[in-house]
Amino acid sequence: MTLLRSISIYSVTFLWALLYWLTVLLPVLLAALLPAARRRHRMRMILLWFGLTTVRWAWRPFFKVHYEDRSGGVRRPGIVVANHRSAIDGFLVSLPKLGMAQTVNGWPLRLPVIGHVARFAGYLNITEWDYETLKARAKEVLASGDPIVSYPEGTRSESRTMNPFRSGIFRVAMELDVPVYMLCIAGNEYMPDRKFRFREFRDLSVRLLGPLTEEEIDRCATAYALKQKVFRLMAGELAEMDAELDHEKTI
């Protein structure tokens, strides 16, 4: 069943991706001719809609995703911190419908088509850049009015327990004086697992929280204190979301 499940969702995702990228080929080529700032924003929107349509349309036959915005809307660009349980998180972060630049390890930027567009969109390469470069590029993204989504765990946890957070992106938030939002993603710890197998299909829950305001951030003495505060808030919310999903599953 795991094999059949995995083949079916990957086939649908591949076909959807083919259709989507063929459809947006002309807009992508036209966007590439725009001045840098507008080009990056346009590319982010193209990636956003790829993520959103994949989650809402292509994956609909397999599972549903319940999204809830408890942040009151992202009024000011800031850092959106997401937990990272599985490889589909890169798609799920599109649910707040924000043209965001994601922080990524080097490999997604080497993917055909999507990797090129992500580079044009100004995605932030956290493995190859030093802290000062990351901060300078983050400042550019935020100045253009777009938020940044980051996975401070660094790698997929593939479980309900978050990995310890790294401090870099929290230091960026503190030094650039921007709000921090929290995007909690629950239910996808085995969707897919580390070997990219879908051991199950189950409905997911995604919740946007925050923001932690500049004042709340200023009360943290260091990036470490801020990351631990965010970790505690997200861990509490995720425990609640997991319990809700388990309850729904048993009904």
Partner 1 sequence: MDRNEIVKAVNSIFIERFELDEAELTPEKNIIEELELDSLDIVDMIVGLQQKFGIMLRDNPAIRNVRTLGDVYDLFEKLAAEHPEIVERLK
**What is the binding site for partner 1 (CB under 8 A)?**
131, 164-168, 171, 220-225, 228-229
| Cβ distance to partner 1 smaller for residue 27 or 164 | 164
| Cβ distance to partner 1 smaller for residue 144 or 157 | 157
Q: Where are the alpha helices (DSSP H) in the chain?
A: 2-23, 25-31, 36-53, 89-92, 114-120, 131-143, 168-176, 214-218, 223-250
| Cβ distance to partner 1 smaller for residue 56 or 229 | 229
CB of 166 to partner 1, least distance (A): 5
| Cβ distance to partner 1 smaller for residue 23 or 222 | 222
| Cβ distance to partner 1 smaller for residue 11 or 213 | 213
The H or E element that residue 103 is part of is: strand 101-104
- Burial status of residue 96 (CB atoms within 10 A of its CB: 0-12, 13-18, 19 or more): buried
150: its two tokens? 């980051």
Task: Work out the angle at residue 222's Cα, subtended by the Cα atoms of residues 217 and 226, and round it to the nearest 5 degrees.
Answer: 45
> Which residue is associated with the tokens 């055909």?
112
CB of 226 to partner 1, least distance (A): 9
Contact 204, 188 (CB under 8 A): yes
CB of 111 to partner 1, least distance (A): 27
CB of 225 to partner 1, least distance (A): 4
| Cβ distance to partner 1 smaller for residue 153 or 189 | 153
CB of 128 to partner 1, least distance (A): 16
CB of 182 to partner 1, least distance (A): 18
Length, in residues, of the chain: 251
Closest of 166, 233, 182 to residue 79, by C-alpha: 182
Q: Cα 81 to chain center, whole Å?
A: 8
CA dist 81 and 78 (Å) reads: 10
* φ and ψ at residue 186, rounded to 5 degrees: -130, 150
| Cβ distance to partner 1 smaller for residue 11 or 222 | 222
CB of 171 to partner 1, least distance (A): 6
